[in-house]
Amino acid sequence: MSEAHVDHEGKPAPMEIKAPTAALNLPPAWNWVFQAGAVGLALFSLWAAGPGIPEEHLHLSVYLGLTWVLVLIMYPERRGASFEPPTGRDWLAGSALAACGIITILRAEQVEQVGPNIFDWSVWVVGALLVIAAVFLRNVRNLTLIILALFVFILFEIQFDEVVHRAGAWHATDFGLALAAVVISIEVARRSIGWSIPIIVVCGLVYALFGPLFPGPFAHRGSSVYQVANFLMYSSEGIFGLMTSVMANTVIVFIFLGAFMERSGMGRFFIELPLAVAGRTAGGPAKVAVMASAVFGSINGTSLANIVATGAFTIPLMKRVGFRPHVAGAVENSASLGGQLLPPIMGSGVFIMAEITGIPYVEIIAVAAAPALLYMLSIGFIVHFEAKRNGIRGMEPGELPAPLRVLRKGWFHLVPFVVLIWLLLEGFSPEWCAAMAIVSIIGINWARVLLAAVQPARWAMPEHRLDLRGIKDALVLGSRNSLVVGAVAAAVGVLIGVLLLTGLPLKIGNMIVTIADGQLLIALVMVALASLVLGMALPITISYLLIIVLAGPALVDMGVALIAAHMIVFWLSQDSNITPPVCIGAYVAASIAVADPWKTGWASFRFAKMLYVVPLLFAYTPLLTGTAQEIAWIVLTATAGTYAFSGWSMGWLYRRTTPVEWVVLGGIAVMCFVPPALQLSELITGMHVNIGGIVALAAFYQWQRRRGKELVPG
């Protein structure tokens, strides 16, 4: 690790967290075009969240159109390929090919009614020749897609009122436009995250078209290409469906909030404060990773961004005090995953949950807080036991800043959180609250600049100023961060639309109910396996959306509360970051730790086992739906159970456990997690078992303490 920086008072300070750059590896002209489009997308989204009230179809069209164009510019056609500026020949060929496609779509109705004329044949011949040329010229394909992407949404908006009035009586031009949109949505998804989603979408389209050929319960009457394309384009269940709507209306604004928080220098504060508080304790840097990931993750709601932002600092610190590289990476990975479970943002999944269930966003984050804290607490316990087991101590006091000094220097970074939570509790829409939090960040930054200019002896000039350049960089950064999910929104909408068109979710739900035969635990295992399989190919939010569409109704039919069913699926969908062989988060953390990704993934799985325990509490206890007293009791016993379970996972409590002690500790953990309302006999309920578990845990701890410490290195 590089040496710690020394501040102006001569005290060691944490490594500087630099503001992210908004620059791209593009030629100057194309970089300017990209940044102009990114700023346009950002300003439109913030205007729509704030004072603007655009019509929904216009909002979604502008969002998707700009997102598609930015993805086609930013992501090369082939992974690892460098951007090549198009030549004059490329421009001519690409524009001509796009023109052939546009003319074909515009004349489709005329051709269908009276047949093609010499002009149509000429356009098709030229287009065919240009298609052959485009096979060998990558930039021609890219320019053609960019022009067609813009055309799709411009024509959609021009004829929107007419299409609404003739709903169901689609013209050939409508079909051509819909077909182009479906194809481009699949290509945009492929550019952003690879082949996984496009392959699944194509399989879904094949299923929709050839339903009668499928066996048994999966067979359906099938649909024509004409019916499928028009349904996906012109209904509210396809390209402009739930995923796109939630992304455009809410998620993107929170992504911009995260970008402004990063750009304003808040990241450093959210690392320095945990470092000052917990850095001295056993395995201190690992606990710092847990705390920093919790706070930072609650801002951006993205585990991978969390790993990069906090792990670049915490992983080297963990290695420095003695954690093995793959363990350091696993701590950061499993802790960063928890940031996606913590309110107020919780990734884009929480907004989809609110949209599907109709439960207000504020209510969802209120009930989600306690389970998320249990998960983060379990990671904290585990890293403490890991440090104790390996004799890893904390950092020296001289290396750390004082907590009060850190608060005094950066307390204002907490104000946007206060603004966000206060406005949410006042009942304003989530996107409006996020926009106002952004305004507060800019206002605080400007106030600091003004105070530093007026009283330089008392106020330090901010390292990261949100002047016009800084605001532009934050807007571009937010737009770039939104492309990862935004690029697949339409393709996921296509897949969801296909599922609803064919009735597959109902078939899957009936199968789950039949196979489980009334046994909720079997149904939960099936959902967990489905999330594991889908998590190998899909991002967390998309995996959650697909599984809840397929399996959510079955869980509700088996007596699980609606919010609990969604939370079960949402939690189980997080495992794509920790479970080998895919474990994307483990690969990212391992690259920072210079460790084996496979070892990092398995260690992450070992640390994050509560990801599979808490959904059982959702299913079998009123943790999300009970009274205040019921929830308080469950949280109390679950906290004791989390402590016991973490110690059992690591084979350590006060000291290393013997094999017999390990078995006993596991039993104690189970006792703490037993549903309190469970009636075991006429006299014994689950609450009595909980009390026995807590008492047994205290006795077990005292037993280990009296038997003496086991000698450990260091």
What is the per-residue pLDDT across 67-82, written as a single tens digit (0 to 9) for each?
A: 999 999 888 877 766 6
* Chain mean pLDDT for the chain: 83
Residue 155: count of CB within 10 angstroms of its CB: 18
Contact 281, 388 (CB under 8 A): no
Long-range contacts of 161-170 (CB under 8 A, 24+ apart): 163/234, 167/234, 170/226, 170/230, 170/234
Given a cut of 80, is residue 541 above it in pLDDT? no
Q: Of 7 and 419, which is predicted with more confidence?
A: 419
Only one residue has tokens 């394909």, namely 141
Element (H, E) at 312: helix 303-321
- pLDDT value of residue 665: 94
User: Quick check: 139 pLDDT over 70?
Assistant: yes
Q: Is the pLDDT of residue 711 over 50?
A: no
Report the pLDDT value the prediction gives residue 13, as an integer from 0 to 100: 40
With CA atoms as reference, report the closest residue to 384 among 649, 149, 146, 155.
Answer: 649
What is the gyration radius of the CA atoms in the chain, in angstroms? 28
pLDDT band, very low/low/confident/very high, at 714 (cuts 50, 70, 90): very low
Four-residue CA torsion sign, 487, 482, 141, 111: positive
Task: Give the pLDDT of residue 19.
Answer: 37
C-alpha–C-alpha distance, residues 319 and 274, integer Å: 17
Mean pLDDT of 108-135: 86
Residue 630 is predicted with a pLDDT of 92
Q: Is 12 helix (H, G, I), strand (E, B) or coil?
A: strand
Burial 345-364, CB ≥16 within 10 A → b, else e: bbbbbbbbbbbbbeeebbeb
Is the pLDDT at 331 greater than 70, yes or no?
yes
- CA distance linking residue 551 with residue 572, whole number of Å: 12
| pLDDT beyond 70 at 2 | no
Query: What is the 8-class DSSP label of residue 465?
Result: -
The confidence band for 426, taking pLDDT boundaries of 50, 70 and 90, is: confident
DSSP reduced 3-state for 29: helix
What's the one-letter identity of residue 242?
Answer: L
Distance from C-alpha of 134 to C-alpha of 148, rounded to nearest angstrom = 15
In terms of Cβ atoms closer than 10 Å to its own Cβ (0-12, 13-18, 19+), residue 298 is buried
Q: Please report the pLDDT score of residue 371 as a whole number.
A: 93
SS3 per residue for 37-83: HHHHHHHHHHHHHCCCCCCHHHHHHHHHHHHHHHHHHHCCCCCCCCC
* Selection from 603, 605, 615, 592 nearest residue 304 by Cα: 592
Q: What is the pLDDT of residue 581?
A: 60
What integer pLDDT is reported at residue 1 of this predicted model? 34
pLDDT tens-digit readout, 361-379? 888 988 998 999 999 999 9
pLDDT, position 582: 58
**% of residues, the chain, pLDDT over 90:** 20
**Res 18 pLDDT > 70:** no
Judge whether residue 188 has pLDDT over 60: yes
Q: 336 and 314 in contact (C-beta within 8 Å)?
A: no
pLDDT of the residue at 7: 41
Q: Does residue 647 have a pLDDT over 80?
A: yes
Position with higher pLDDT, 460 vs 703: 703
Q: How far apart are CA 440 and CA 428, in angstroms?
A: 16
Q: Range with the lowest mean pLDDT among 84-93, 436-445, 449-458?
A: 84-93
For residue 300, the model assigns a pLDDT of 63
Q: Which residue has the higher pLDDT, 28 or 1?
A: 28
- Name which residue leads in pLDDT, 428 or 183: 183
Is the model's pLDDT at 536 over the cut of 80?
no
612 to 350, 379, 524, 525, 572: CA distances (angstroms):
19, 14, 10, 10, 7
- Over pLDDT 70: what percentage of the chain? 91
Mean pLDDT for 41-69 is 89
- Rounded to 5°, the CA angle 29-34-352 comes to 175
At residue 583 the predicted structure's pLDDT band, cuts being 50, 70 and 90, is low
At 21, the pLDDT band (50, 70, 90 cuts) reads very low
Q: Which residues contact 573 (CB under 8 A, 6 or more apart)?
A: 349, 531, 534, 535, 540, 541, 543, 544, 547
Per-residue model confidence (pLDDT) at position 270: 75
Least confident of 227-241, 422-436, 572-586: 572-586
pLDDT surpassing 90 at residue 236: no
How do residues 666-705 score in pLDDT, each as one tens digit? 999 999 999 999 988 888 999 999 999 999 999 999 988 8
pLDDT, position 288? 82
At residue 457, the pLDDT reads 75
pLDDT confidence of residue 669: 94
pTM of the model: 0.78
Q: Would you give the DSSP letter of residue 13?
A: E
Q: How far apart are the first and last CA of the chain?
A: 21
Cα–Cα distances in angstroms (integers) from residue 377 to residues 5, 471, 567, 616, in the given order: 30, 36, 19, 17
Average pLDDT rounded to a whole number, residues 587-602 = 83
- Residue 620, classed as helix, strand or coil, is helix
Taking the C-alpha atoms of residue 243 and residue 4, their distance in angstroms, rounded to an integer, is: 44
Burial of 201 per CB tally in 10 Å (0-12, 13-18, 19+): buried
Mean pLDDT of 491-516: 82
Phi and psi of 14, rounded to 5°? -65, 160
pLDDT for the residue numbered 17: 35
Whether the predicted pLDDT of 617 surpasses 90: yes
3-state DSSP call for residue 573? helix
C-alpha 632/C-alpha 93 separation (Å) is 67
Collect contacts of 48-52 with beta carbons under 8 A, ≥24 apart. Answer: 48/248, 48/249, 48/431, 49/249, 49/253, 49/429, 49/431, 49/432, 49/434, 49/435, 50/432, 50/435, 50/436
Tens-digit pLDDT profile for residues 386-416: 888 888 877 777 777 777 888 888 788 888 8
- Name the band, by pLDDT with cuts 50, 70 and 90, for residue 4: very low
Whether the predicted pLDDT of 602 surpasses 90: no
* pLDDT for position 11: 37
Q: What share of the chain is helix, strand, coil (3-state, %, to 5)?
A: 75, 0, 25
The two tokens of residue 428 are 């304003």
Number of neighbours of residue 114 by Cβ within 10 angstroms:
8
Closest-CA residue to 143 (of 88, 82, 81) = 88
Q: What is the pLDDT of residue 498?
A: 87
713 Cβ neighbours under 8 A, 6+ residues apart? 390, 391
Average pLDDT in the 303-321 region? Answer: 78
